[in-house]
A and B are shown apart, each in its own frame.
Chain A
Amino acid sequence: MAKVQVSKRFMDKSQRVLAYVILSVISIIWLFPFFYLILQSFADIQNPLYNTKSIIPNIWTFNNYKALFTDSRVPFIRWWLNTLIIAFFTALLQTILVLMTSYALSRLRFKGRQGLMKLILILGMFPGFLGMLVIYYILELLGLNTSIYSLILVYTASSAMSYYVAKGFFDTIPKSLDEAVMIDGGTKNTVFWRIIIPLSKPIIIYTILVSFTGPWGDFMFGKYIIQTAQIQPTGYTVAVGLQGLTTMATNELYGAFCAGAVLVSIPITALFFWLQRYYVEGIAGGAVKG
């Protein structure tokens, strides 16, 4: 009797094993840095007996974390609060502005629409920070340059540039919904608030997530604006503060950097995994709509 051709999966068992091996190697490569970070944050680097060669630290200590909260050169809590406030308000304002721009560009038809989209595309091609001198001067004019919260203004001001993903989402909502509301007696304002917003929960969460994690990761703007504003060191954001630690002459604060990095990453990663579904949807759906 001919050999029974059972389902294909049994045949390429060897292929599956190979696939698993590759995947696990990839995971190791991708997880090693964080694993190393956590280990370093417990390593007592200053201790002379410490053997820098080995990956697993031979001396464990907890004072790196203690240094974060006690050492005056590393006012971590202050940094963390600054960044949290900036991130919170940026997320709030930027989401509103991005939603408004992308809704207008995707669903309303008006004269300068194509022109505006082309302008934003072209502006995106210029290197961003060259204009920082001017932005700093404008902040100076507005008298905001001494407070680091002017960063909120800097981040939200250019939020119209990132209308792309949200616009992709709004394009998927059928046009006949707008027309149905028009006939039912609503204005375009009712359409926006009572039909579009309740329907676009995924993209709202995606925008909040992206604009919240923005300030945590931004380094360039923060460094320039804070440096000229001379409110070191308590006025730093987390990113600028930690970067400052690594470029210090002696690397005695390196342990503090690792601890700080771990503490910063935990909340953001937790937030990320909680909203992972929306993030994946946003990227896979919106970005490709191009």
Chain B
Amino acid sequence: MASLKLEHIYKVYPNGHKAVTDFNMDIKDGEFIVFVGPSGCGKSTTLRMIAGLEDISTGELYIGDTLVNDMQPKDRDIAMVFQNYALYPHMTVYENMAFGLTLRKVPRTEIHEKVMWAADVLGLKEYLDRKPKAMSGGQRQRVSLGRAILRNPKVMLLDEPLSNLDAKLRGQMRSMISKLHQQLKTTFIYVTHDQVEAMTLGTRVVVMKLGRVQQIDSPQNLYDHPVNKFVAGFIGTPQMNFFNVRLKEEKDHVDVIWKDCEQPALRLSKDQVLKAEKKFLTGEKDIILGFRCEHVSAEEEELAKGDNIVDVTISHFEELGNETLIYGDLKEIEKLGEESTTGIIIKAPSKMGHVAGDVIKARINVEKINLFDAETEITIIPPVPERNVLPVSIKNEKMDLFGEQTKPASIPVDFLENGTIALPLDATQVCEKGSVEGKVVLVEKQGEITLAMVEVKGKKLFLKVEEGVKAGDKVKFTVDYSRATFRDEKDAVVAEPLKDRDCINATFVNYKTAEEVTKDPSFAKMKDEKVAKVKAEYEEKRKAFEAEKERALKEAQEKQNAVNASVAEREAALAKEKEETKKQLAEAKAQYRKDVKEAKAKHAQIMKEEMAKIDAQYKKMKDEEKADYKEFMMKNKDPESRRSRRTSYSVFKESFPAMKASDVEKRTNSLDFEKETELNGLKARYSQLVALSKDKLKEDERKFKEECYPLETTTKEYEKKTKAFDKEEQDALRRAELLFFFKYDEFYQLLPDDITNKIIQGMGERVFTKIFRIEVPHDGFEEKEGALEFKVVSLVNFGDVKLYKCAGTMYGEKVNVYINQERDIALGEVIHLAPIVEKTQIYEDERNIRLY
């Protein structure tokens, strides 16, 4: 059982086609993850990358926190069920399931036990001796499932396992797979293009399109809160109804107007569109309205509610037994005649007496609607909004945002008339010494995040708050204006947010080159320190190991003396046992041969009887027909009926041999088939018997050797152990000497081990020739002498956040860096800064691949 981590997985084929782009996911242990999406969206490629059948262009894959990027499929401890079952046609079911374990040299008794366990879990007990071609699709799929679960792998991968089965069987197999998942508690990763399977099986579903992840969420969230129009259209049958509309914000409600119409059709309450940005509610932006067919109904008690009623002309029905889908067109839009989507699907208990062509009224349940921006097709009412957009105006050093306040010096805007300020959600942090205070209006829980809507001087915005906050509390928060974007009324950007990360280039260098260039004694000291630490660690390990060895040898010596007496007699017992098993095997062989001959004779006998029976049966039929024909001919003389009787008789004669042949063939087939299964069974029993007795013999020999010559076995054992120990120590020492540095212009910075591993993992041996772009956040710098030299140029003051702008030269060109330091630095002072590597993001500059 294991968790699975995919970090920035890219799959780029040699011809440049990007199959999978930036796939990130953390899968906890025991989850049932479903990859779903149209064909060609990269879901199978991702699965095959996890399985190791395709190599990962960049990015890291951890199975149970061991890095498996370069591991062979067989070492990743995963199992896979293929779409076309991939069973070995020439092996019986038993051999198919046991093949994996026989390759890994698992003792035969254990294999036998495991196969029996898997067989009764999947109900394949009586098919064990059959060949795959003699079994139905469902049974074959269960065999490949059995083969997979047999090795109780860390992760089970299923590649569209049910797509070759018919509908009824698919339902059964679906329930079997989910039952299997509960029973085994292994992590399942299931790929399908059928969204019904995704919704029913998955604890979490990943919707993908053209290699990109659209949304990862539980099936219910996907159904209710799709992140964009594609997910909304893909999940749920029948497809969601989509209409082009415009939103117009009124005093106490929001009007929904069909595109190119005048009067509003539907009315939404204000808090439904609270999280939408204001620009969508002005009525100029095209919006796509989407709602499920069960959220619109034509029943009386719904219509009685009176609001949001639309007229629908019915075009046709789809009766599914338990419910009926009414397909129709909205009257208002219909008369416009343009081809925008007018079709609407309504779910109703029955036809309700309507006939195609009627015009009926239907009420849309407005709470359950989805709204998407027509351009980007992304939802405008996300559960957790990314940013708050608030009106603001700035006049001569004064800013009217949260009430009148002085404009922080470094906002580069002097005059702005009713513009907007967009603040990312995490630019507004709730904390005690916040400069702005607001009253909490309502609190919502979205997954792990609690979201509070806070009102400050009449303006509403959303903030992330802790668990305990309730409506009505007072809350203080700080605002980081450096990350704000200012826009004027025509939505043109007036001030860009300050880049939150500064970029520096560096090259990757190993210890030798760094040491030669800088002759800096501290590096050598660091290296020796590290080596010394490792040496010391291995010193005591070796001591403990030696002690243990001593003890084991002494113990073995005692056992040796005790048992010496009985060695001779034990040896005799063993020899006798060998003799016995040989005899037993010979006997079993004779018995097996006899059984086989007997079975063959028996079956030959059955076959003969069967053939005789068929011949008799058909002969009788033929004679009867002949007699009936003769008799008919004698009886009546009318030429017409005689001719038709004669033709029907000749047709009978013509088709008789073929009919008989097919019947014979059918029956002999089933007989042969039984014979084959029986013979297979005999063979399997016999070979198992031989194998088991051989294994037992080997086992006894081993036990004999161990008990009678404990000293010799333990010494040999420990020799092996010491060799392994030395090798391990040597490896560790060699690795300890490895130190790597980032070289910024002249300054060398030692990198911690985990980061170096990540970089080396990503780049391989070409790491020395690559240029890396280090993106350092404002608080990512620390003062360190000898580091990069910067001159503080100016102070950027964003109210709560104070940043110093420093200029320096790197590789000859000017670089500006913003740092926020506790101690205040005088302008023009020269300081030495070094990036704190843990806080930075490291990219490989050329192909812009993120490594850390």
- If A183-B51, A185-B74, A185-B100 touch, does A176 touch B89 (CB 8 Å cutoff)? no
Residues 183-201 of chain A, each 1 if its beta carbon lies under 8 Å from chain B, else 0: 1111000100001001100
Question: Which of A6, A7, A174, A186 lies in contact with B103, CB distance below 8 A?
Answer: A186
Kindly identify which residue among A176, A183, A186, A190 contacts B78, using a CB–CB cutoff of 8 Å. A183
A185 and B86 form a contact (CB under 8 A): no
Contact B74 A182 (CB under 8 A): yes
For A180, list chain B residues within 8 Å (CB): 80, 82, 86-88, 147
Within 8 A of A (CB), among B52-109: 52-53, 72-74, 78-80, 82-84, 86-90, 99-100, 103-104
In the docked arrangement, what's the CA distance between A203 and B82, Å?
27
Does A252 touch B at the CB level, under 8 Å?
no
B696 to chain A, nearest CB (A): 25
Q: B74 to nearest A CB, angstroms? A: 4
B654 at the interface (CB under 8 A from A): yes
| Docked pose: A190 CA to B651 CA in angstroms | 56
Q: Tell me which of A1, A181, A198, A199 has the highest count of chain B C-beta atoms within 10 A of its own C-beta.
A: A181
Q: With A177-B86, A190-B103, A195-B88 known to touch, is A183 a contact of B73 (CB < 8 Å)?
A: yes
Question: In the complex where A183-B73, A183-B79 touch, is A6 in contact with B651 (Cβ < 8 A)?
Answer: yes
The interface centre, meaning the residue of B73, B78, B87 with most chain A CB atoms within 10 A of its CB, is: B73
Does any Cβ of A come within 8 Å of B769's Cβ?
A: no
Given A1-B640, A6-B651, A186-B103, answer yes or no on A179-B80 (Cβ-Cβ < 8 Å): yes
* Chain B residue contacts of A186, Cβ below 8 A: 74, 103
Residues of A within 8 A of B163 (CB): none
CA distance A107 to B723 in the complex (A): 40
Asked whether B644 is an interface residue with its Cβ less than 8 Å from the other chain, the reply is yes
A175 to chain B, nearest CB (A): 9
* Beta-carbon contact of A184 and B644 below 8 Å: no
Instruction: Bin the interface of chain A by size.
Output: 20 to 34
Check if B654 sits within 8 Å of A179, measured CB to CB: no
Give, as a whole number of angstroms, the nearest-CB distance from A285 to chain B. Answer: 17
B654 partner residues in chain A, CB cutoff 8 A = 7, 9
B74/A184 in contact, CB under 8 A: yes
Chain A residues whose CB sits within 8 angstroms of the CB of B104 once the complex forms: 185
Residues of B within 8 A of A182 (CB): 52-53, 72-74
B269 contacts chain A at the CB level, 8 A cutoff? no
Residues of B within 8 A of A1 (CB): 640
Mask of B582-593 contacts with A, CB within 8 angstroms, 1/0: 000000000000
Contact A199 B80 (CB under 8 A): no
A290 to chain B, nearest CB (A): 25
Number of interface residues of B (CB under 8 A): 28
Tell me the minimal C-beta distance from A251 to chain B in angstroms. Answer: 53
Cβ of B647 within 8 Å of any chain A Cβ, yes or no, is: yes
- The verdict on A4 contacting chain B, using a C-beta distance below 8 Å, is yes
Most buried by A among B72, B74, B147, B640: B74
Min Cβ gap A3→B in Å is: 10
Q: Which of B73, B79, B82, B86 is most buried by chain A, counting CB atoms within 10 A of its CB? A: B86
A176 near B82: Cβ-Cβ < 8 Å? yes
In the assembled complex, how far is the CB of residue B687 from the closest CB belonging to chain A, in whole angstroms?
16
Instruction: Decide: A185 and B90 in contact? CB cutoff 8 A.
Output: no
Taking a contact as CB atoms under 8 Å apart, the answer to whether A6 and B647 are in contact is yes
In the complex the two chains form, what is the Cα distance from A54 to B284 in whole Å?
107
Chain A residues near B103: list those with CB within 8 A. 184-186, 190
B103 to chain A: closest residue by CB? A185
CA distance A182 to B52 in the complex (A): 9
Q: How far is the CA of A184 from the CA of B87 in the complex (A)?
A: 12
Docked Cα-Cα span, A185 to B53, in Å, equals 13
Query: Which A residues are CB-close (under 8 A) to B640?
Result: 1
Docked complex Cα distance between A183 and B86 (Å): 11
Are A183 and B84 in contact, with the CB atoms below 8 A? no
Q: Would B53 and A179 count as touching, CB distance under 8 A?
A: yes
Residues on A with beta carbons closer than 8 Å to the beta carbon of B86: 174, 176-177, 179-180
In Å, the complex CA distance between A9 and B651 comes to: 11
Q: How far is the CA of A5 from the CA of B627 in the complex (A)?
A: 26
Q: Which residues of B contact A6 (CB under 8 A)?
A: 647, 650-651
A65 to chain B, nearest CB (A): 42
Q: Are B74 and A177 in contact (CB-based, < 8 A)? A: no
Return chain A residues, CB-CB under 8 Å to B79.
Answer: 183
**Cβ–Cβ < 8 Å partners of A7 in chain B:** 651, 654
A71 to B644, CA, bound (A): 73
**CB <8 Å contact, A4 and B647:** yes
CA A181 to CA B87, docked complex, whole Å: 10
**Interface pair B100/A199, CB less than 8 Å apart:** no
Q: Which chain A residue lies CB-closest to B79?
A: A183
A177/B88 in contact, CB under 8 A: yes
User: How far is A150 from B99 in the complex, measured between Cα atoms in Å?
Assistant: 43
Q: Which of B78, B79, B80 has the most CB of A within 10 A?
A: B80
Q: Hey, what's the 0/1 contact readout for A154-178 against B, CB within 8 Å counting as 1?
A: 0000000000000000000010110
| CB closest residue in chain A, given B654 | A7
User: Given the interface contacts A184-B100, A195-B88, does A4 sit within 8 Å of B74 by beta carbon?
Assistant: no
In the bound complex, residues from chain A placing their C-beta under 8 Å from that of B53 are 179, 182-183
What residues of A have a CB within 8 angstroms of the CB of B51 in the complex?
Answer: 179, 183
Min CB distance A225 to B, Å, is 41
For B73, list chain A residues within 8 Å (CB): 179, 182-183
Most chain-A CB neighbours within 10 Å: which of B52, B103, B654? B103
Measured CB to CB, the nearest residue on chain B to A198 is B90
The digit string for A9-20, where 1 denotes a CB below 8 A from any CB of B, is 100000000000
How distant is the Cα of A177 from the Cα of B85 in the complex, in angstroms? 9
Beta-carbon nearest neighbor of A201 in chain B: B90
Q: Can you name the residue of chain A whose Cβ is closest to the Cβ of B78?
A: A183
Provide the B457-470 mask, 1 if CB < 8 A to any CB of A, else 0.
Answer: 00000000000000
A181 to B82, CA, bound (A): 12
Rounded to whole angstroms, the CA-CA distance of A190 and B99 in the bound complex is: 11
Closest approach, in angstroms, between the C-beta of A16 and any C-beta of chain B?
14
Known: A182-B74, A183-B78, A190-B103. A174 touches B644 (CB 8 A): no
Once bound together, how far apart are the Cα atoms of A9 and B640, in whole Å? 23
Residues of B within 8 A of A177 (CB): 86, 88
Interface residues of A in 1-41 (CB under 8 A from B): 1, 4, 6-7, 9
* Cα–Cα, bound, A176→B47 (Å): 14
Interface positions of B from 609 to 624, Cβ below 8 Å from A: none
A180 to B145, CA, bound (A): 12
> Which A residues are CB-close (under 8 A) to B72?
182
A-side contacts of B84, CB under 8 Å: 174, 176
Taken together as a complex, chains A and B put the C-alpha atoms of A182 and B86 apart, in Å, by 12
CB distance from A121 to the nearest CB of B (A): 24
A30 to B208, CA, bound (A): 65
Q: Chain B residues near A174 (CB, 8 Å)?
A: 84, 86
Per-residue CB proximity of A93-110 to B under 8 Å, as 1/0?
000000000000000000
Indicate with 1 or 0, residue by residue over B635-657, a CB within 8 angstroms of chain A CB atoms.
00000100010010011001000
Q: Tell me how far the C-beta of A80 lies from the nearest C-beta in chain B, rounded to whole angstroms.
A: 37
Q: Shortest Cβ distance from B647 into chain A, in angstroms?
A: 6
Contact A199 B82 (CB under 8 A): no
B647 / chain A contacts, CB cutoff of 8 Å: 4, 6
In the A-B complex, the 6 residue pairs with the smallest Cβ-Cβ separation, listed nearest first, are: A184-B100, A176-B86, A180-B86, A185-B74, A185-B103, A198-B90
Interchain residue pairs with CB less than 8 A apart (14): A6-B651, A7-B651, A176-B82, A179-B51, A179-B80, A179-B82, A180-B80, A180-B147, A181-B99, A182-B53, A183-B53, A183-B73, A184-B100, A185-B104
- Known contacts A7-B651, A179-B80, A199-B89; can you find 18 more A-B pairs with CB under 8 A? A1-B640, A6-B651, A9-B654, A176-B82, A176-B86, A177-B88, A180-B80, A180-B86, A183-B73, A183-B79, A183-B80, A184-B74, A184-B100, A185-B104, A186-B103, A195-B90, A198-B90, A199-B90
